[in-house]
Structures are given as C-alpha cells and as structure tokens.
Amino acid sequence: MDINLTFIVQGFAFFAVAWMVMKFGWPYIIAAIEERQQKIAEGLAAADRSQKDLAQAQEKVNEALKEARAKANEIIDQAHQRANQIVEAARNDAIVEANRQKALGLAEIDAATTRAREDLRRQVSTLAVSGAEKLLKREIDASAHKALLDELAAEI
C-alpha cells in the first residue's frame, strides 16, 4: 500500500475533526446524556415515591373501611338491642293489657253471677209464695211477709 500525501491529509483531517468534535461537540453530548440520566433517575424516584404513597393510601383506605365496618356493626348491634327493647316493652304492655282485660272480665263475671243469684232468689221466693198459695189455697200477702221471704231468699 502506498502512503501518499492524500492519505496523510485525510488522516490529519480525520484527527482534526475528531479533535474538534471532542473539544466542542462532545461536552454538549455528554451534558445531554447526563441530563437525560438525571431525569430518568428522578422519574424512577418519583415512581418509587408514588408507589409508597399509593401503599400508604391503600393502608389508610383499608383502615377506614375497617373502622366503617366496625361502626356499622356497632350500629347494627344497637339497632338489634333497641328492637329487642321495643319488642320486650310491647310484650310487657300486652301482658299488662291482658291482665287488665282479664280483671275486667272477672269483675264482669262476678257482677253477672251476683245478678243471676239475685234473680234466682227472686224467682225462688216468687215460686215459694206461689207454691205456698197453692198449698194453702189462699193468697198470701207478699208485702206482709216480706221479711220472711227475704230470710228465705238469704238461706237459698
């Protein structure tokens, strides 16, 4: 291979361009690469922070849900207790009302029994007077013998 002047000039030109690129162009290229690396690193750090924040937010949401469920269960328990109290109060009121109705019924039965006894005594005394009239074939004065009839009715 012949080394001629063209080859040497091309070598000098190559080294001159390489030197100029390294002197003037290379720092800008390195700066751009370093800036890009820094932005990528910041993006990755931001992504890590976002994941940590998301995890913390998820924990807070889970805790809030847990508290809400506990509160809901507490409210449901209170509602059940209140419902049981209402049912118990209604049951007690019903028992009181039933006892009152029973007492009224018993009082009415007692009054009816007393009236029936009085009616029966009157009927017995009337029958006794009628029977005595028929036996004696004469009329007995009921007003004259009222005390006797009352005594007879009391014995019956």
pLDDT at 15: 95
Query: Over its length of 156 residues, how does the chain's per-residue pLDDT go in tens digits?
Result: 567 888 889 999 999 999 998 898 888 899 999 999 999 999 999 999 999 999 999 999 999 999 999 999 999 999 999 999 999 999 999 999 999 999 999 999 999 999 998 888 888 877 777 777 766 655 556 666 666 666 666 666
* Start-end of H helices in the chain: 5-20, 26-136, 146-155
The Cα–Cα gap between 90 and 93 comes to: 5
Phi first, then psi, for residue 138 (nearest 5°) are -150, 160
Question: What pLDDT does 136 receive?
Answer: 65
In terms of Cβ atoms closer than 10 Å to its own Cβ (0-12, 13-18, 19+), residue 121 is middle
The ranges assigned to domains in the chain are 5-155
What pLDDT is attached to residue 138?
Answer: 52
DSSP code for 143: T
C-alpha dihedral, 9 to 12 to 13 to 18, nearest 10°: 160
Cα torsion 122, 126, 129, 132: sign: negative
The backbone torsions φ and ψ at residue 53, rounded to the nearest 5 degrees and listed phi first, read -65, -40
Distance of alpha carbon 109 from its chain centroid, rounded?
47
pLDDT at 156 (0 to 100) = 62
Mapped onto helix, strand or coil, the DSSP state of residue 138 is: coil
Reduced to 3 states, what is the DSSP secondary structure of residue 45?
helix
